[in-house]
Amino acid sequence: MTPRRPTLASRLMLAQVLVVGTGAVTLVIAALLVAPGLFHEHLVDAGIDSAEAQLHAEEAFASSFGISVAVAAGAALICAGLVSWFFVRRVSGPVEELAKSAEVVAAGRYDVDVPDATFSRELHQLSESFTHLAQRLSDAESTRSRLLANLAHELRTPLATLEAYIDGMEDDVVPDTAANWTTMRDQVDRLRRLARDLRESAAAEEHAIDLDLERIDARTVARAAVAGAAPRFHAKGVTLDRDEQDTECWIVADSVRLQQVLANLLDNALRHTRVSGRVRVLTRMDAAHVRIEVEDDGEGVPPEQLDRIFDRFYRVDASRHNVDGSGSGLGLTIARAIVAEHGGSVDAASDGSGKGATFTVVLPRSG
């Protein structure tokens, strides 16, 4: 059984009583040791030589001094006690409320009403920090639940496809053909791709992405990314162009990781651009930054969803799903995390549904 500990209020009050009591006792002892001797010296200096007169005066002084000290000490103790009680309640009250709120949060309920402790700057900061912590935990729990639900959804389709083909082959309903085996391998590849992207996403969230930094020309990275994506664009019938300025765009970056970012942005643009559409990759530089833009004339993004598209598994149109499994729903999340590790940012812009979108990678310029 855990022993019952004293409350903060009782400890603070006891400390105040000890401080005030010690001060009062010290005052009385010091006064008793010093005051009578000084009073006697003043009597002698005043020329009062009569022993009887001195004794009478000293007795009167001792009596009045004792009564005054007793009354003053009592009044001081009462006033100090009241003031101490007031301050102790103002300090311990918010702390006790925060402790109760912490127990609620520890139980898994994050919609707590945290009192705003305005007694001091430190207590106010503690109250605000706890409110922010509760909100962050609530957001994290919502994200975790949404992530698990989305992950289950992403796994369901390839697993259901594999199960259907395997059962069909066992029952001789689905023929054992090369095409059917290819379909099953595609679903396995989809699961493997999802596992890889989940690992990348987790590493990005923990800031555990390994970077091999070097000084490179951003135009070279953009050219390599465009060259790698060209066959996929050609197969779908989407035009892929590149536009760059004539001068070098030097940055300090991991070339492989940055190509991964552009590949994810290009894949996203390809998925949301219609046949005969167009995607452009532009490389620009200003005084402090290098910008790589991936611009398409595809489906576009509603303004209220521009920032959420970087969330894991988020889809602009939840009713639509990539039947071919070309996207895991993590590409934009990974892209933003990699760029952030480079000290840069990725933003999205769109005039709305059906009006295309532009994704801009901004990186610090080197030299």
Q: How far apart, in whole angstroms, are the C-alpha atoms of residue 299 and residue 306?
A: 13
| The token pair that represents 180 in the structure block | 């059917």
Strand partners, 345: 362
Residues 224 and 266 sit within 8 Å (Cβ to Cβ): no
φ, ψ at 299 (rounded to 5°): -70, -25
| The token pair that represents 211 in the structure block | 């970077």
pLDDT confidence tier of residue 321, bands split at 50, 70 and 90: very low
Residues 359 and 268 sit within 8 Å (Cβ to Cβ): yes
Residues 203 and 184 sit within 8 Å (Cβ to Cβ): no
Give percent of the chain above pLDDT 70. Answer: 78
Place of tokens 């007795």: 59
Place of tokens 């000293």: 58
Nearest one of 44, 71, 74, 70 to 58, comparing CA atoms: 44
- Predicted confidence at residue 315, as pLDDT, reads 64
Q: How far apart, in whole angstroms, are the C-alpha atoms of residue 109 and residue 100?
A: 12
Nearest 5°: CA angle at 342, between 337 and 347?
Answer: 55
What number is the average pLDDT over the span 277-289? Answer: 93
pLDDT tens figures, 223-263: 999 999 999 999 999 999 999 888 899 999 999 999 999 99
Write down all domains in the chain, each with its CATH number in brackets: 8-109 (no CATH), 147-205 (1.10.287), 214-364 (3.30.565.10)
Sign (positive or negative) of CA dihedral 148, 149, 151, 157: positive
Strand ranges in the chain using DSSP code E only, listed in sequence order: 214-217, 239-244, 250-253, 278-285, 289-296, 345-349, 357-364
pLDDT tens figures, 42-87: 666 676 666 776 676 667 767 777 777 777 777 777 777 777 777 7
Q: How far apart, in whole angstroms, are the C-alpha atoms of residue 144 and residue 136?
A: 12
pLDDT tens figures, 91-125: 777 777 777 777 777 777 777 777 666 666 777 77
Nearest 5°: CA angle at 281, between 280 and 286?
Answer: 130
Q: How far apart, in whole angstroms, are the C-alpha atoms of residue 290 and residue 367?
A: 11
- Predicted confidence at residue 349, as pLDDT, reads 93
Q: How far is CA 129 from CA 107, 116, 124, in A?
A: 19, 11, 9
φ, ψ at 237 (rounded to 5°): 85, 30
Residue 289: burial class (beta carbons within 10 Å; 0-12, 13-18, 19+): middle
pTM listed for this prediction: 0.58
Residue 154: burial class (beta carbons within 10 Å; 0-12, 13-18, 19+): buried
pLDDT of residue 327 exceeding 60, the answer is no
Nearest 5°: CA angle at 246, between 242 and 249?
Answer: 85
φ, ψ at 31 (rounded to 5°): -65, -40
What number is the average pLDDT over the span 305-330? Answer: 62
